Amino acid sequence: MEDTDSMAIIASKRGGLVACPGGPYHARNGCEAIKLLSWDQVREIVDRFARLNPYDRDAVPGSVLKIEDDNVDPKTKKQRQLWCYAIAAKRYVLFLRDKDGAPVLLRDKINNDEDRWSEHGLGHLLNPTDPDTDDREWIAQAWLRILRKALSFKTGPLRFEKLPAIGRVSVSSPWVMRAFASFNRGKPYAKQIKPFNFLLSAQVRELGRPIGVDPERFHLIAPYETDSRKWLALPWIDEYSTERYRITTSQVQSRKTAAVKTYGDVLRAYEYHPELKCAGPDGKPCTKQTIGLLSRRHVRIVQLRFIGKESNLLEEVEEGSIHDAGSVYTEYLDAQREREAWLRDIVPKLKAVSLKELQSRTGLSLAALKAARAGRMPHRKNRDKLLAALGEAGTN
């Protein structure tokens, strides 16, 4: 695990080996393993980096690498063994283990200087026990349950598991206000939905959308309500069509009812989130069940597209409140250059793959495929399908 300015070092007091699928070493029992550094070795590495300190040593002494205070018991001031459970990038928790081996979270003002569990991927959801507060204790409860389950300790259901998973958004554009035109009609101004008011946002299940709606243009919002017991009965409105719908936490199929995720649904998916940027010990892309020593996946360039660096709202795409990932990019098109690149780089690759295979991988008609192979540029969605098919076919 590492970030731009940090690393998570696998170390123990004396070092040695620890079991890990895909590791280059073997433990005494024959299991694949990776090497642990000792605490002394880590300190030696940190001391070496002191030579790279570019600052006035009187003002900023020591190394440019710093061992985090989490490693030290705030009461005894002695180094302690930390443990980490990592699901994917930015989804991890640091913890201690008690005398029975059970996990103990690092908590602010209890056994650490700050809480040490990730909220990434869950931060968009309201506190199901008290939505009007910023208390995130429910996320700590979720992490503790994940840890106890992973370490084979007894676990029970969380008391908020069956509640609908609800997030909070604000009325930040005329487009969102438009959805509440009929809701506001005839109400006094004080009771209307107004700009910059907060709204509730529902997380619709993969196959829970009402019959006949466009899955990429369907997002349910409702007036803000702090009592989670009333969420199912609220007037839910599709942001795109302004139509009203009911929501349920059971799986149904109806034209006016949407099946939404519960907190339990979200947490189960969170627990098994695949690390898509990495390959597993077998060299294949990570799946929800992959564990062990990961490696970076190889990147193959199939097309150049000019996009802005903003990459707005990517977290909203991941959480499900925005369904079309393409809508969050600012793309700058150069039609002539794009046409030349298509003819030069893509058309020869399309001709190298049989029409039957292309049709199987893309679902496009033979006429559309023949036109593309003849040099005609298809529209963006079909272009993306063809590029994805070339990647799957291993055409470089």
Q: What is the pTM of this model?
A: 0.76
Q: What is the pLDDT of residue 191?
A: 84
Mean pLDDT of successive 10-residue stretches along the chain, which has 396 residues: 83 95 93 96 94 91 92 95 92 95 96 93 89 88 96 94 91 79 86 89 89 86 91 91 92 86 94 91 93 90 69 56 56 73 89 90 89 86 88 69
Q: How far apart (Å, rounded) are the C-alpha atoms in residues 340 and 347?
A: 10
Query: Contact 270/122 with Cβ under 8 angstroms?
Result: yes
Q: How far apart (Å, rounded) are the C-alpha atoms in residues 7 and 15?
A: 17
Query: Contact 222/242 with Cβ under 8 angstroms?
Result: no
The residues pairing with 35 across neighbouring beta strands, listed in sequence order, are 17
> Each residue of 20-47: b (16+ CB within 10 Å) or e?
bebbeeeeeeeebbbebbebeebeeebe
Q: Is 219 exposed, middle or buried (0-12, 13-18, 19+ CB in 10 A)?
A: buried
> Each residue of 290-321: b (16+ CB within 10 Å) or e?
beeebeeeeeeeeeeeeeeeeeeeeebbebbb
Domain residue ranges of the chain, discontinuous segments joined by +? 2-118+139-148, 166-261, 335-393
Q: What is the pLDDT of residue 154?
A: 94
Q: Where are the beta strands (DSSP E) in 236-372?
A: 236-238, 244-248, 257-259, 278-279, 295-296, 306-307, 331-332
Q: What is the pLDDT of residue 170?
A: 85
Chain position carrying tokens 């803000």: 224
